[in-house]
Amino acid sequence: MKYKILTSWRREDLFLFIGFLIFRFALDISYEKFLFVVYYFDTPINFMYQTSITRYLFSLLLFMLFTTVLSARPRDVTNVFLIMATFFLVGPLTSEFGLNAARPIEPVIYTISALLLVDLVSRLPIPDFISRIPVPKGPQLAVAISALAVLYMFGLAYFSGALAYFNLDVRKVYAYRDKVAELIDVGVLSYINLWVYKVFTIFLVCVCLLNRKFGWLACVLGAQFFFFGLTSHRIVLFLPFLAIAVWFYLVRFERLTPMPYMAALGVLAALLLFEACGIESVAEIAIRRAFFVPSGLTYQWFDFFSFHPHVYWADKLLASFSSGDFVGVNIPRLLGGYYVPGAESASNMGLVPAGYAQAGIWGVMLYSVILGLVLSVLNTVVRAGAPLWFVSAMTIGPLRTALADSDLFTTLLSHGLGMAVLLLWLYRTRFVAVTQSEKEASAGHREPA
């Protein structure tokens, strides 16, 4: 029996490995056939195509070595995070390194090493202090806080006058976004507003799914749709459906094996639309924006801070205690202006480039350890009885932000990763109750009539 289980485990992990290899080949083909053709002269990120067989095979080797740490079974939040990191960072980084001779190897090595350190720290035997701190009526408190936050956002939209810029046309999001922000994102409210549509509404979506309250789910989705029209941020519209997709997949499938095959088909379908029909917009979003913009910006950040001093958190966290050129400076906008002079663009990046910008290798290590500890806490919540889908759906947005879109400390505070952990901690006793009732129901079905 043990031998059969081990053989089955190895077989499904092998299929996952093969799937990611196919996904990597799909990225390589799309780089040559789409990015090099359309965006070779793209000013912010030049996708040059110049390689050698040795360089390409070495990039494949690095990618394959990393994928060996992945498990086909969704065991914990760490594994889900590493799967996501393989899709959105390791795959595109190694693909671009293998096909673009101008790309150095340091960002690839730093990224893979950082993710392995995150994995290691998240699995250390850290004492469970969270579950030992009782919170009376914690689940009710978590739901009440989230519901009141949603109502607050409606009130703010009305009394601030931001409703005058309500917009549902995705083509006009940049025309109204800054005007609305001037009215509602004032002081500490800017943090609360982000938490409302990045954390509180997603928490309510997960609660509705957990308790099968689909009528209430429709109400929450309607509120999120309103917040999209108010803020003109497309991510607001995307996040609840991402949470529902995580719920749908992890509840119904016991393996992550199909995911890289599905992603490879998606990439190739977008490429086919471009090749056969000349439709560039789908490939621009599904290939360039989703995968290769984060990898290209990673190389940019490493390039810039290889020749400039590190920030050492003088931009925000330690601005009051620092001196130099980076005090109070918005680093993403600094790099956006550096690579595209005169443009009002921001070169947003996540865990590894932001850590490297702050303190070099030590910054990368610090951010990796902190994120590993956060994942360890989330894994503890899962071990305590929370469904993996619930914790993953709640945190996949902030974790994706930490991975590729924002500085880790900013993600913990502004983008709600810390608030998501707090809500899960408050709601944890509800998971135990749900698990116990499911066990009792299952036992009741087994009893003879």
- Separation CA 1–CA 443 (nearest Å): 26
Distance CA 200, CA 27 (A): 35
pTM (predicted TM-score): 0.89
The amino acid sitting at 288 is: R
- Whether the CB-CB separation of 418 and 365 falls below 8 Å is answered with no
**For the CA atoms of the chain, what is the radius of gyration?**
23
Burial 275-295 (b: 16+ CB within 10 A, else e): eeeeeeebbbebbbebbbbbb
Q: What is the DSSP letter of 50?
A: B
In order along its 449 residues, the chain shows pLDDT tens digits of 344 444 445 788 999 999 999 999 999 999 999 999 888 876 667 788 888 999 999 999 999 999 999 999 888 999 999 999 999 999 999 999 999 998 999 999 999 999 999 999 998 877 766 667 777 888 999 999 999 999 999 999 999 998 988 988 877 777 888 888 889 988 888 889 999 999 999 999 999 999 999 999 999 999 999 999 999 888 888 999 999 999 999 998 878 999 999 999 999 999 999 999 999 989 998 999 889 999 999 999 999 999 999 999 999 888 888 777 888 898 998 998 888 777 777 788 889 999 999 999 999 999 999 999 999 999 988 988 889 999 999 999 999 999 988 999 999 998 999 999 999 989 988 876 555 555 455 455 444 44
